[in-house]
Amino acid sequence: MTVVALIPARAGSKRFPGKNLALLGGRPLLAHTCEAALASGVLSAIYVNTDSREIADVAERCGVACPVLRPKHLAADDSPTWNANIFVLDFLAQRGEAYDAVMVLQPTSPLRTAADIRSSLALFEEHAPCSVVSVSLLAPRSWLGHLGPDGRFERWHGDEPIYRLNGAIYIHRMDDYRHDRPPPKTMAHVMPPARGVDIDQPEDLEYAEFLWQDGRASAETAATAT
């Protein structure tokens, strides 16, 4: 099976300007995703999808090419990622590149690992035909609820765990993706909440930095102990 990974990273962001190049552990968010994708060893091709020459240059220094800059009308705040990815896939098809599946890796999920990518793709192949999304545990159902018309909190019943999409990994059969067609089923790759952080605003980056530093400290402690 051939799989192309697309890393969508536009330049603009109203809530967090320069988000995709913001530093985490001294490196741009984009670099973390490029490195995980390359280290996974399971992808046929990896490309960054951007409207910015600066972002493209950062990706290329990480070993990931930008085949074409997307036009500005596909890089607005309200531009769907799907439209921008189809633009890149069409460009690749025109130069003779065809793939069985597409994996979307958002740079705003920098704590996703190469192992997550490998496990997600294995799940996709095991349960084909399907799509795969990455999720993280949110809370037991009984911890959640909704507000009634008078502002009263009304708890949901049941103790089963509730999961949220964390935005780190999406895998689709190419034909399904191109035609924006629902898959026969969608499988979930479960990631720990600490790896499923989605950076949307500066406060999220501060939390991710804490997790990254904590993880590095833990790894250094374990290495010292051995």
CATH of 3-135+164-182+191-225, one of 3.60.9.10, 3.90.550.10, 3.30.390.30, 3.40.1160.10: 3.90.550.10
Long-range contacts of 220-225 (CB under 8 A, 24+ apart): none
Bridging pattern class, strands 153-155 and 145-147: antiparallel
Long-range contacts of 79-82 (CB under 8 A, 24+ apart): 79/10, 81/8, 82/177, 82/180
pLDDT at 221: 36
How many helices (H) and strands (E) would you count in the chain?
Answer: 6, 10
CA dist., res. 32 & res. 201, Å (int): 17
pLDDT at 218: 52
CA dist., res. 15 & res. 207, Å (int): 16
pTM: 0.92
Bridging pattern class, strands 161-173 and 153-155: unpaired
- Report how far Cα 115 is from the mean position of its chain's Cα atoms: 14
Each of the 226 residues of the chain gets a pLDDT tens digit; together they read 999 999 999 997 777 889 999 999 999 999 999 999 999 999 999 999 999 999 999 999 999 999 999 999 999 888 899 999 999 999 999 999 999 999 999 999 999 999 999 999 999 999 999 999 999 999 999 999 999 999 999 999 998 999 999 999 999 999 999 999 999 999 999 999 999 999 999 999 999 999 999 876 455 434 434 4
pLDDT at 15: 76
CA dist., res. 76 & res. 79, Å (int): 5
Amino acid at 167: G
CA dist., res. 162 & res. 141, Å (int): 6
- Distance (Å) of CA 163 to CA 84, 116, 135, 144, 151: 28, 17, 6, 12, 25
- Domain edges within the chain: 3-135+164-182+191-225
CA dist., res. 183 & res. 131, Å (int): 6
1 DSSP assignment = -
Strand stretches in 18-76, DSSP E? 23-24, 27-28, 45-49
- CA quadruple 93, 96, 97, 100: dihedral, nearest 10: 80
CA dist., res. 87 & res. 97, Å (int): 13
Bridging pattern class, strands 27-28 and 45-49: unpaired
pLDDT at 13: 75
Cis peptide bond N-terminal to 107, omega within 30: no
